[in-house]
Structure formats: C-alpha cells, structure tokens
Structure 1
Amino acid sequence: MKFNEAQDKYEVIAEYQGSYNDSLLKFTSSPPAQRPDVIHINEIGTATLLDLGAYYPVQRFIDSGDLDISEYMTNVLNAYHYQGQMYAFPFSITVPAIFYNQEAFEKAGIDPETLRTYEGFAEASKKLVEAGVTKYGGAIVQDTWIYEQLMATAGKEIVDNANGRQGRAERLVADENGGLELVLGAVREFNSQPTTFVPSSSGEARTAFASQEVAMYIETAGNYGVAKQIVADSFTVQQKPLFRLKGYEDGLPYASGAALWIVDKGDLEKALGVVEFIKFFMLRENQVDFILETGYLPIREDVIRDPRYQDFVANVNPGTWEIVQELRDSTWPGGALFGCLGEFRNIVKDEMNAMLSDSSYTLQDAVRAVAERTNEQIWLYNMSN
C-alpha cells in the first residue's frame, strides 16, 4: 500500500468485509474493541452509524486544522453534514450515469444529447432496436438508489424532517409528495417496453452491454472503469448524465457514494493516523490516479485543473465532465438519512418487480405498499434505536 510505503508512523491493513450491508452488519454487531479504526460505508449505513455514535466527527479534525478542506467542493462536503457537523469524509463519490455504445448510436443516427430527458432516453431505446444495431435499446439497473436520485432531481424528499437531515425520520413522505408515483411510473413504463432490457443487477447490465445485447444502460458513474475493462476494444464506452423527468428538466442530482468514518475506540492517536491516511489518499496526484482508473468523480478543484484529468475529459470521456458540472452546481443537500434505508430500497425493488410481473397490480398499489411497509420499518427502527 502506497501510504505504508510513504511513511513509517502508521500502518494501514485493509480487510474486505463483503458488501456495504455485510460491512455494516459486522461493524454494528462487533464489540467496540474489535471494530476497525476506519470503515468505508455508503449511505445505507449513515443514519445507523450516526445513531450508534461510535465515531469521531471529521469536523473535529477540520476545526483543529488537521484537515484542510479549502480545495474541496463545498456542496459535496455538505452532503456529508448532519446538524451542522461533517460526520465522515467523502471517499468514492458518484451519481447515476447513462453508459452508451458510441458506435451503436452513430449507426442508428442518434444524437446522445437527446438522452437528457426521459422521453429522449425512451425514444433512443426504440430507435436503436429499429435500426437493427442491438437486440435491446436501453436498460435501467433495478437499483432504488437511481430512483432516489431521480426524485431528488424533481425536488421530492423521501422522508420527513428535511429528508432526515434536521432530525430523525419518522415517516415516508415520497408517497404524499408524488415522488414515488412520478419515478416508479416512469421506470415501469420504460421497463414494460419490448425494446427494454430489465437487469436485476449492475453486473447483469454490464454483461449485456459488453456483449452488445443492449446499447445503453444506467448505473453508478463510478463503474466506468469496470465497464471499460469488460468491453475492452469491442466499442467505445461513453457516458451522459442521468435523464430528467418531464417538468423537472432543470433538476440536479446530489453527491452520493461511500465515505470514510473515523471510528472512536478511545485512541486519539489512531484516529489521527486515519486522518493522515485520508490526507494522503486525497492528495491531488493520488485522486487523479483513483478517478482515472475507476470513474468516480472528483471532489477537489485542483483535481479538475490537473492536466491528466483535463486530457481525460477532453479526449476519453467528455460526458463525465457534464456529470461533474452538474455535481458542482447542485444545491440538493444529499440523500435521505434514515436507519432503514436499506430495507426501503429492497421494498421499492420488490414492488417494482410486482408491477412488472402482474399487470393488475397498479402503480397506486405499489406506492401504497411501499409507504405501509417502509413506515413499519421506520417505526421498528426508531423503537429499537
């Protein structure tokens, strides 16, 4: 590990613990002394870790001068704030993106700029099949996180108390403000088309994309490197920002992705070691290496100014620059914070599948079921935490 080679005061030992859900479960079920000094977790675990309280807020080290955040995008850092304090440090930042086969679009005569709206995305999916360049036109990975981002672009919160950011969430509001109906309705409509491929996972979508069974799909922008590796030299992989729903064309996504939490084990020296690791990883040259290899998004302005990154967005993946510009301009304060976010995501996925498999199961049935099931999970979480 480069950090260990660069200094001799601290040693970082990385241990893979499975998915984010697996890591969160192991962390919360372990005695404090057996927990790691730092944990990398996405928004599924944010409210749980906040409620657990077993962490040093990053704000402490910013205020002490140990962490300099002057080069970071303020709106990205704001997404990792709760009640005025920055709780964790953004590590792998991403938003949903459209991945598309450049050559397939050229053969079908489709301008990628039309993908900016849902209508344009859906029409492109049909045209790709009609042109005979692919079996399926488009796909949206069945990931509730994508739906959450679409709701944000429409200005729709998911839970009460300012999306759980001004106090503990007590109930779902996406069923009341029209967010669920708006997004689930559009995704159901798209998934019901014969030209649509409906993948159960991002891996399934990437496989279909690489084999040219489908010419475009939506998943996390941070998997650009993975997609490029799988596709190899078969065709050119490009990206565009997530489409907008009708009436909300000016909406913007919010900074999402996993963060580093400094675990409070009563050892401030180790916590300062984690701070040093964060500082090392976030050095401009290290960030550029990480971003160019993976596809995650820059959060430092000096990374954006770096010649290697400038060359990347000019000559390799210009679409990612559009995605970064949206991230810079976004004022949405971040995703919903509530302790059963993972359960909510599974519930939404269940109800989407129910609509697709049973034509008599209406959109209103699905929205009602999501609300009832999620509110029960919120109540159970709040009662036990």
Structure 2
Amino acid sequence: MLQSKSKKHLSLILPLAMTMTFTAACGGNSGGGAAGESKPAAAGAAESGKEAAKTEGPVKVVYWHAMGGELGKAVDKLVADFNASQKDVVVEAVFQGTYDESLNKLKASMDSKSGPTLIQVYEIGSRFMIDSKAITPIQQFIDADKYDISQLEENILNYYKVDGKLYSMPFNTSNPILYYNKDLFKAAGLDPEKPPATYEEVAEAAKKLTKDGQAGASFAIYGWFMEQFFANQGAELLNNGNGRTSLATESLLASDAGVKTLTWWKGMIDDKSMMNLGRKTDDTKKAFAAGQIAMTLDSTASLRGIVSAAEGKFEVGTGFLPKPSDAKEGGVIVGGASNYIMNNKSEAEQKGAWAFIKFLADPKQQAYWHVNTGYFPITKKAYDEQLVKDNLTKYPQFKTAVDQLHQTKANLATQGAVMGIFPQARQLTEGAIEEVLNGKKAPKEALDAAAKEITAKIAEYNKTTAK
C-alpha cells in the first residue's frame, strides 16, 4: 500500500520555502535520495489504468494545475479525452491560479486530505517538492510498469532527474530564444537570415539597429534569463554540481559568468542601443510587436503569440540564446512545470494519476498540447504526427527552439540548479540586475550582494529541512 508521510517535516519547511511572491515563467539534488519516497506499491500498475479501479465505479483523480486562459482550455480538452478513453479513472482538473497560488493552496491542504492527487508544479519548485516528503516519485511507477522513458526527450527529463531518478513527469516545457525583426535587420544592412549568436554580435547588431524612436534591443529583467545565460556558458549557478551532487550551500551568481553577462547587458544600456523596460516580459513583447525594439528574449511558449502580433507588420526571426564568444559547451535549461503524485492518497488514486500521466505523454496528446500551447512535446514521436508537421510549416521559427533543445550539451550546468529557496533567489537576482541597469551598483558589487543573501537563505533552508 502507498503510505502517507508525516506532515511534521513539511510544516517545518513550508514557511520558508513558500515565500513565493512572483509569477514564474513558462523555469531535487543528489542530497534528495529517498526523501520523497513512500513504500513501493506501484508494482503491478496496469498500462491502461484498469487496475486503478479497486472499488466499484471509476476512481476519481483530482488534478490541480496553473494553466489559465487558452492553456487551461487545452488542459480541459486533454482531461476530457482521457476520461472518454476509458471507464476506470475520472480526472477532475481544477485551475488553482498561478504556480505560487497553487503551491500555497497545497500547503493549506496538507493537514487534511482535501488536496489533489496530482499537482502541476513549476520547475523551480522541484527541490522543495522532494524535501516535502509528500510525493510518490514517478520512478516507482516507471519501474513497476517497465515504462520506456527512452521515448521521452532526454534534455527535458534531465532537469527532473535526481540521482538518475524521476520524481515528477515533465508536462509543459519551454526555453528562451532570441526574437528579432527581420525587416529592421534588412533596413540596417544586417543579414536577416543570420541572427547574432554571441554577446559581441548582439551588441554590434544592436548599435546598427538603433535610431530615433527605435532601440536595438530590450530584455526583460528576469532571473530566468540570467539562469539561462549561465547554462549557455556551461557555468553552474550553485556549488556542489548545481546542487545535484550534494545539497547546494553557496550561490555562484557573482562568478565570471554572471559578471560577464551583466557587464555586456549594462554596456548596451549605456550606449543606448538597448531599452530597459523593467521586469515584465509582456512589456518587451508589446514593444517588439510595435517595432520599437528590434531584438528581445522570450520563452518558446510565446512564439505563436509573438508571430501573430507581428503579422502584417514585419517578419519575425528566431535565433539561439546568445552566449560569449569564448563560452564553454553549454545550452539551455528547460523551463515550465511537471506533474507530481501526492502520497497521501489511496493506491487506487495514485495509479489512476499514473494512468493519466501516461496518457498525456502519448505522441497524439503531446502533438495536440504542443500545437495548441507552444510548449515542447516531451515525447519524441510527437514530431512524426501530421499536426506537428503542419504547425512547423506554419511556424518555421519553432524549428529554432527544437534545434536549440536538441543541441544542448547535457551537463550539470544545463541540467539546471536546484535549491529549496529558488523563488527568492530569482527575485534577488532580478534586484541585482535592476540595480546595475539603473546605475546604482557595478555588476560585481550587485551580484556579490545578491549571492551572499541567496547563500544565507540556502543555509537557513538546509538547516530547517535537516530537522
């Protein structure tokens, strides 16, 4: 029987780890080990979910998610299709607001059984979810079912693996790419089919693209971008293998990778080839659509919206996330979220949740999800679906995102950092970027201060989870 864990441990770490006051992007460690395990009972889980029905009538699985608007409609369609595909499990999808709001509601439900069977959690909540001891690792179901994960994208799975074990199943996945205005590139004498690939090339192009009423570029002040710039240089954001060879104890934000990135960014602000539009990515999207800026960074999940907003005005080009010309091998880290099965629910409910997870990973469902949301398919064979082929014909820019994912070099840098206080760390990073761009501090000074504060918060978190 899948056993419910004591919630005493969770109540200790929640007050610290749940101080999440921002909305995440579309972005555990080796110290986690068996932290999230309950007794193996996934043994014998049926492929179709038929064994999930241990009582009369279908098993009900409550699924909490943070997908609003059109994304929510896509989730509802997948749930309806799953429910119609078999009679043993009924999934009830419940929108819980932002990722932060959803996790806070999970916290409130821990003393009772009013919470979900399955919950979508953003990628930077991974360390916390493992430390909570409130989940049944997906690996248990994979092993019991002999489920073939080789059909899934390795560079997506890598983020959610700890010691080679999957604690959750990836769901919505994205990474950042460079968007640029091909028409403005032509007007400036730049090759519209050759986007800048390095920091140096971006800075040079931005100068040529800047004129009255138009800036060469604008990047939102977003911690996720800094995390990605580190990975693209093959640089780790935290010590102890990005918090994966053992628990992270120190932030490396002020290392050469961070200073180099922020110096480059500030240099473009200083020569007025870059516009600072603050923290909201929506503001840079609007400026890009209006032709006020020629280059920006955004999630791959925003691609359809960005291309549609420019339709009839200019052609949108896409390029890989830029990196320094002397960067080590790296790539991008996946952003988005994954699905966790809670261990305080019955064995039948947990197996029902697993059946739904497998349904979501099916190529046909992944093709639908990708085309209707812009998130990557987690299943390789989804690219063979005609729906996906037609979508790539309509939005050829998305090939850039797919190529960037596939060309990412798998290492501890691109696997992504894991820490229990990631939301706070991201905010502190954004504060440091803001101070530098606004001329209040030099790059090294701002990053040193932020790194020191992040390190202190990591120590506090680690001390709390050790109780």
TM-score using structure 2 length: 0.76
Which of 1 and 2 has greater Rg?
A: 2
Quote the offset at 1:124 in angstroms: 2.3
Matches for 1:353-364 after TM superposition, within 5 Å: 353-359=434-440, 361-364=441-444
Partners of 1:267 and 1:355 in 2: how far apart?
A: 51
1:338-360 per-position Cα deviation (integer Å, ceiling 9, x unaligned): 0111111111111111122235x
CA distance in 2 between partners of 1:21 and 1:136 (Å): 34
Q: Distance in 2 between matches of 1:129 and 1:281?
A: 45
Cα separation, 2, equivalents of 1:264 and 1:87: 12
Unaligned runs of 5+ in 2: 1-79
Query: Which residue of 2 is the match for residue 191 of structure 1?
Result: 269
SS at 1:14 equivalent: strand
Unmatched runs of 5 consecutive residues or more in structure 1: none
The residue aligned with 1:345 is: 426
The equivalent of 1:117 in structure 2 is 198
CA distance in 2, matches of 1:67, 1:33: 29
Distance of aligned partners of 1:171 and 1:23 in 2 relative to their CA distance in 1, 3 Å threshold? same
Match of 1:202 in 2: 281
Q: What pairs up with 1:297-316 in 2 under 5 angstroms?
A: 297-313=376-392, 315-316=393-394
* Secondary structure at 2:210 match in 1: helix
Shift of 1:63: 0.6
Instruction: Say yes or no: does 1:327 pair with 2:424.
Output: no
Equivalences for residues 5-154 of structure 1 within 5 A: 5-31=84-110, 33-65=113-145, 67-111=147-191, 112-130=193-211, 135-154=214-233
Alpha-carbon separation, structure 1, partners of 2:374 and 2:229: 21
Measured in 2, the distance between the counterparts of 1:167 and 1:249 equals 23
| Deviation (angstroms), 1:250 | 4.7
Amino acid at match of 1:304: Y
The answer on whether the counterparts of 2:117 and 2:345 sit within 8 Å (CA) in structure 1 is: no
* Cα distance in structure 2, aligned partners of 1:178 and 1:195: 24
Give 1:58 deviation, angstroms: 1.0
The answer to whether structure 1 residue 3 and structure 2 residue 82 are counterparts is yes
CA offset at residue 229 of structure 1? 4.3
Over the aligned positions, Cα root-mean-square deviation in angstroms equals: 2.2
Secondary structure in 1 aligned to 2:130? helix
SS in 2 for 1:285: helix
Distance between the aligned counterparts of 1:189 and 1:17, measured in 2? 41
Q: Which residue of structure 1 aligns with residue 447 of structure 2?
A: 367
AA at the equivalent of 1:187: W
**Contact kept in structure 2, 1:67 and 1:275, CA below 8 Å:** no
* 1:126-275 equivalent positions in 2, closer than 5 A: 126-130=207-211, 135-175=214-254, 177-199=255-277, 200-248=279-327, 250-275=329-354
The AA in structure 2 aligned to 1:95 is: N
Aligned residue-pair number: 380
Contact 2:234 2:328 in 1 (8 A): no
CA distance in 1, matches of 2:92, 2:310: 32
* 1:55-85, Cα deviation, whole Å (9 max, x unpaired): 1111111111264323112232122111221
Task: Indicate how the Cα distance of structure 1 residues 249 and 82 shifts in structure 2: closer, same or farther if over 3 A, else same.
Answer: closer
**SS of the residue aligned with 1:257?**
strand
Distance in 2 between the 1:236 and 1:276 partners? Answer: 42
| Structure 1 CA distance for aligned equivalents of residues 189 and 84 of structure 2 | 51
Offset from partner CA, 1:108-162 (integer Å, 9 cap, x none): 33224242112222222222224x7x62221112111111111111121111221
